[in-house]
Amino acid sequence: MKVYNIAVLEGDGIGPEVMKEALKLLDVISKKNNVKFDCVKGLVGAAAIDKEGHPFPNSTKNICNNSDAILFGAIGDPKYDNDPKAKIRPEDGLLEMRKFLGLYANVRPVITYDSLLDSSPLKKEIVSGTNFVVYRELTGGIYFGEKSISDDRKSAYDTCSYSVDEIERISHLAFKEARKRKKELTLVDKANVLETSRLWREVVQKISNDYPDIDVSYLFVDNAAMKIITNPKDFDVILTENMFGDIITDEASVITGSLGMLPSASIGDKISLFEPIHGSYPQAVGKGIANPMAMILSLAMMLDLSFNLKKESEIILKSIEDALSENFVTIDIDSKNYHTTSEVGDWLSKRVSEYLG
C-alpha cells in the first residue's frame, strides 16, 4: 500500500471547518483505493501565536519537513488586523512558511462554471468560457525586501528586489504550463516605471527563445487589471511578480461568482502547499455557511500535482460540477436554497465514493 504523508495546517477562521470536509474526501479515497494518507496536524497563524507564541513554530516546520505535501486552510484574525502596532502577525507565518519551504510559485486557476454564471457580478457573456491560470512569484519582491518605519512614524519604505534566478525558475514553470494549454503566455509588469519589471521583461524575453511555440505578450499591470474584467477569456497563462499577482488573482476571483470556488497551489522544489484563496472569513466561523469547495478543489490539485493521482483528482472535479449543476451548494452561491458546510462535504464525499465504485 502506498502511503502519502500530508501536513494538515487548518489555520484560522473557517480554515478548520473547510479542512474537515476535505479530509472526508481523503478518507473516502483511502478506503476505496489501495492508498493511505497519513495526515499530521500543525498550528499556523493566529492559532499558533496564541498557543506557541509564533505564527509558524518549529513544531509545524518539522511536520512540514517530514511530509510529501501540505494542505493549508486559512490565516488571519481580526484582533491582529485591527492593531497596526502588533509586533507579530498571523500573515508573518505565511510569508515565513513560503520562504522556509522554498514555495516560489503560486498557481491559481480561474475557471467559470456554467451553473454559476448568473452569480458573477460581471455579465454572463463576458465571463462565460473563462479559463486561465496565474503564475505568481512568491518569495521575492516588495513583501520580502528591506523595510522600515521611522521612530516618529512619519515615514516608511518597502524595497522591491528580484534576482534573475528568481524570475527564471517561475518563468520556466509558466512556459511549460502554456505548452499544455493554448500556448499563450502574458507577462504582467510595470516596465514603464519599475526597474524590477524591466528585469522581469528582459529575462522573460530571453527565456521565450527556448519556447518558440509559445505566443508571448506583455501587459502593464493596470491594463491587465482592466482587461481581466472586460475580457477575461483573452488570457491563458499569466506570469507576474509577487504583489501584482496578489492583487490580480484576488480581482480575478470575483469572476467565478464566489471566493469559495478558487483553489491554489504554492510550488516548491521539494514540497508544495495547497490552499483555498478565500482567507479566514472570521464572520462565518461556527455558522456552517463556509463554502468548502475551494478547499476540496485544492485537495484535487494536491492529488494531481504532488501524488499523480489524476483519476481521483478528476473525480473530485466532476463531483464539484455535479454539486453545482444540482444546486447542492452553500449560501454564498444560493442565498435561498442552500446547505451547510458539512452537508456539502457529505454530499461530495458520497458522490466521489460512487464514482470510485
Q: What is the CATH number of the domain that holds 75?
A: 3.40.718.10
| Of 104, 113, 135, 143, catalytic | 143
Of the candidates 38, 114, 165, 222, the residue annotated as catalytic is 222
The strand pairing partners of 40, in sequence order, are 7
Pick from 4, 3, 6, 14: which is nearest to 295 by CA? 14
Report the candidate in 301, 173, 170 with the shortest Cα–Cα distance to residue 241. Answer: 170
**Phi and psi, residue 160, nearest 5°:** -100, 125
Q: What is the pLDDT of residues 306-322, one digit of tens each?
A: 999 999 999 999 999 99
Comparing CA positions, the residue from 320, 316, 323, 325 lying closest to residue 353 is 316
Domain contains 44: yes
Judge whether 69 and 4 are in contact, CB under 8 Å: yes
State the pLDDT at residue 357: 87
Q: What is the pLDDT of residues 66-93, one digit of tens each?
A: 999 999 999 999 888 766 667 788 989 9
> DSSP label at 66?
T
Residue 180 a catalytic site member: no
Range of the domain at 48: 1-103+265-357
- Dihedral, 313, 68, 267, 26 alpha carbons, nearest 10: 30
83-92, 234-243, 289-298, 301-310: segment of lowest average pLDDT:
83-92
Report the distance separating Cα 357 and Cα 350, nearest Å. 11
Catalytic residue selected from 68, 81, 234, 250? 250
Pick the range with the lowest mean pLDDT from 14-18, 55-59, 136-140, 252-256: 252-256
**pLDDT tens digits along 147-187:** 999 999 999 999 999 999 999 999 999 999 999 999 999 99
- Verify whether residue 165 is a known catalytic residue: no
Q: Which of 215, 246, 334, 346 is catalytic?
A: 246
Q: Is residue 6 part of a domain?
A: yes
Q: Is 244 exposed, middle or buried (0-12, 13-18, 19+ CB in 10 A)?
A: buried
Name the packing angle between helices 293-305 and 15-32 (round to 10°): 50
143 is catalytic: yes
Q: Cα(56)–Cα(46) distance, rounded to whole angstroms?
A: 9
Distance CA 285, CA 293 (A): 16
Q: How far apart are CA 91 and CA 279, in angstroms?
A: 11
Q: Give the Cα separation of 348 and 318 in Å (integer).
A: 10
Q: Which three cell numbers stand for residue 297?
A: 478543489
- Please provide the average confidence, as pLDDT, over all residues in the chain: 95
pLDDT for position 83: 67
The answer as to whether 275 is a domain residue is yes
Quickly state the pLDDT bin for 254 (edges 50, 70, 90). confident
Domain assignment of residue 80, yes or no: yes
Closest CA to 249 of 309, 307, 299, 294: 294
Domain assignment present for residue 13? The answer is yes
- List phi, psi (to 5°) of 57: -70, 165
CA–CA distance, 289 with 308 (Å, rounded to integer): 32
What was the pLDDT predicted at 79? 85
Q: State the average pLDDT over residues 330-355.
A: 96
Out of 4, 190, 211, 236, pick the active-site residue. Answer: 190
250 in active site: yes
Q: What is the pLDDT of residue 209?
A: 98
In the chain, the number of structural domains is 1
Q: Convert the pLDDT of each residue in 258-290 to its tens digit.
A: 888 999 999 998 999 999 988 999 999 999 999
Quote the percentage of the chain above a pLDDT of 70: 99
Residue 2 inside a domain? The answer is yes
* Residue 298 counted as domain residue: yes
Distance of CA 180 to the CA centre of its chain: 20
Active site residue 38: no
Neighbours of 84 (CB within 10 A): 7
Handedness of CA 75, 79, 81, 84 (dihedral sign): negative
Provide the pLDDT confidence category of residue 253 given band limits of 50, 70 and 90.
confident
Q: Is residue 48 part of a domain?
A: yes
